[in-house]
Structure 1
């Protein structure tokens, strides 16, 4: 059993009088030594300061304790940075003022980390308790992902949200830098730390359940109140991490094994898209990031395909087409949020409709009622002959006025007006013709 290396335990405190003593006693009860405890009282206005000082006097001969007292509440991020700067241990563990460790918590995590030289952080499993210390059936974190995902897949997964519990972690001090917390990062400081550490090395999971994470009204209500701040910090996290030199150094190393490179890029792309609705600017950050990746790896068909698909989903279909033309090796594939194409004419050549769908620029809209449907992401395709015969039909007239009609004729080119007239022979539709069709679609989307 390896027990070498001091552990620096960091404990930020703000108005934690209800549970603070229980937390302190769980630190005192740790079987692992040597440890140092660094407490930052962050401007508490309750009895937290007195509780800390009284407890420190009691354990002075047992544990090395350093106490910092902020006159003002400067935020948990500041407290974490200050305590880590003061840490002298080989390992750093953090705990909240309302959480509880089991006696072997630090011992198990140090042993796990010492057994894995390539790992930079170890985690225990977590149980959840309420304000009365009673175990409750709830799941907030998912530490099983540490074992089920590779280092880089876990990194990508964390771009869609945090699943790791801070008081259940221990990391090597040598892999840490103060900027890993961010500045005034009050909602996602731990999340950002994990992302940076995963760029340094692997995470490992201990088999034990050694931390009790407390869930009570105070920490639930604050999550809702600080939603906007969380969104802004999440956006900042994406910018800082995705554009970091360290990440691109890893890409350089992986590019030798192109399959791993492609899988990592795609995993990041998919993960960001899972949370784009949470804060829509994330998709534009992803767009700029993909362009930077493309500039660095211009021969990557994977990146070209992802850029084209994303731009199509953002409504920039013509730019999406332009990008796809730069790499002829890209096979036709479905584009996210591409418009539905709805055939309404039995006389229309089925091959033309099938061809347009198979290009990936349209989705099969058979089954959509163009009259009764409430959706607006479709275009109707019919022969011009059929359309001319039904001009006076109220439903057809409405679709035409909304610029939803794509008409096939004997023309050799595309004519864009209130309707979009295209060649009926699929052999006459190439990139230039698609560009004109997409000009019509983009214009219709802007007006309606």
Structure 2
């Protein structure tokens, strides 16, 4: 994928252009707030790409109505699809038309605080990092909210947050709130953008970007993420029929070819056991077996491997109990 070259006029500007790509699929209730949060940013210049990925509710009407009132505030380009596309493919098509030096992926059910991009660009300009991230608020339908990183009385992260070389940490666990990412667009393009063979993007792009580039953390809470049962991020361990776990397996296979240090190999071992456990307990036995086979190729067999291997062979289905546990935060 090759984007058009930046204009001479933009190259001479002191401040970098940020492209925000907002993707909507049946999020009519939330999309206006997401779009408003972009035009309300204190940082400029910004360009906006809006994708409606085949919504069957009234999302398109909401977007078109918003555009009539706001189209002149920042440059906007829209992509309306009649049928739902693979998320990564739809995003890459919008990215290909972008001109930004930096890029943001915003789901239409999330939204930013006004200083999000201002803080991000300050941190990026003061470091050699290619990716910025920060803390976020997670909002549940029950009315409960929490921060991604626990905070103290002043709203600052109460524990140490990994920064710089975060590759091993991202292999091991979900250590970064992906909606907060602001990425160098050229670096994103150089690693091949989103992998269109996958059904979701965040785990893969985090590990690929962190394998080559430094990350910088800003201790701000400037992103709001809605934790909705129907959102893509909540379908990872869907009982019996997760369409995301096969992509997780593919990413783990990629990581196996990337790890070199003892810490990175240990991190992948921990990740595989985590994914095997959840795939097994959620009764996604086919992908659990593939994960077990990958583990068997890379590591000596231990108690956890044997336990979940026997469980997978027996196909004992406790997924209904697992599903009740998984849905607790939404009640």
> Normalising by the residue count of structure 1, what TM-score does the alignment of the two structures yield?
0.56
How far does the alpha carbon of each residue in 1:377-416 deviate from its partner, in whole angstroms, 9 at most, with x for none?
xxxxxxxxxxxxxxxxxxxxxxxxxxxxxxxxxxxxxxxx
Q: 1:93 Cα shift? A: 0.8
**Structure 2 equivalent of residue 310 of structure 1:** 301
Instruction: Look up the SS of the partner of 2:114 in the other structure.
Output: coil
Match of 2:110 among 85, 96, 99: 99
Shift of 1:53: 1.8
- Tell me, yes or no, if structure 1 residue 63 matches structure 2 residue 77: no
In structure 1, what is the Cα distance between the partners aligned to 2:179 and 2:169?
20
- Residues of 1 paired with 2:28 and 2:268: CA distance? 41
Distance 1:4 1:226, change over 3 A: farther
Q: Secondary structure at the match of 1:5?
A: coil
Contact 1:9–1:38 (CA<8 Å) still a contact in 2?
yes
Are positions 1:124 and 2:148 aligned together?
Answer: no
Alignment CA distance shift 1:160-1:264 (3 Å): closer
Q: After superposition, what is the alpha-carbon deviation per residue over 1:395-443, rounded to whole angstroms, capped at 9, x for unaligned?
A: xxxxxxxxxxxxxxxxxxxxxxxxxxxxxxxxxxxxxxxxxxxxxxxxx
Structure 2 CA distance for aligned equivalents of residues 80 and 272 of structure 1: 28
- 1:281 and 2:255 aligned: no
Structure with more relative contact order (C-alpha pairs < 8 Å, separation 6 or more): 2
Decide whether aligned partners of structure 1 residues 229 and 26 sit closer, same or farther in structure 2, where only a CA change above 3 A counts: same
Q: CA offset at residue 193 of structure 1? A: 0.7
Which structure 2 residue ranges, 5 or more long, are not aligned? 1-12, 152-156, 279-287, 309-331
Hey, what does 1:254 align to over in structure 2? none
- TM-fit CA distance, 1:164: 2.6
Post-superposition shift, 1:150?
Answer: 6.0
Q: Which of 50, 75, 79 is the aligned partner of 2:86?
A: 75
Superposition deviation, residue 312 in structure 1: 9.2
Counterpart secondary structure, 1:199: helix
Q: For the structure 1 residues 131 and 265, does the alpha-carbon distance in structure 2 shift closer, same or farther, using more than 3 Å as the test?
A: closer
Cα deviations by residue, 1:229-287 (Å, 9 ceiling, x for unpaired): 222111011112322xxx36xx4xxxxxxxxx333333333443343323343243234
CA contact 2:24–2:107 (8 Å) conserved in 1: yes
**Matching residue of 1:155:** 167
Matched, 1:239 2:253: yes
Q: 1:166 to 1:231 in 2, by over 3 A?
A: same
Name the CA shift for 1:93/1:238 in 2 (closer, same or farther; >3 Å).
same
Equivalent position to 1:181, from 179, 190, 194: 194
| 8 Å Cα contact 2:135/2:149 also seen in 1 | no
Which of 46, 49, 59 is the equivalent residue of 1:48? 59
Report the RMSD for the aligned CA atoms in angstroms. 3.2
Higher Rg of the two aligned structures: 1
Residue 126 of structure 1: CA displacement?
Answer: 0.4
1:194 matched to 2:206? The reply is yes
Equivalent pairs counted in the alignment come to: 279
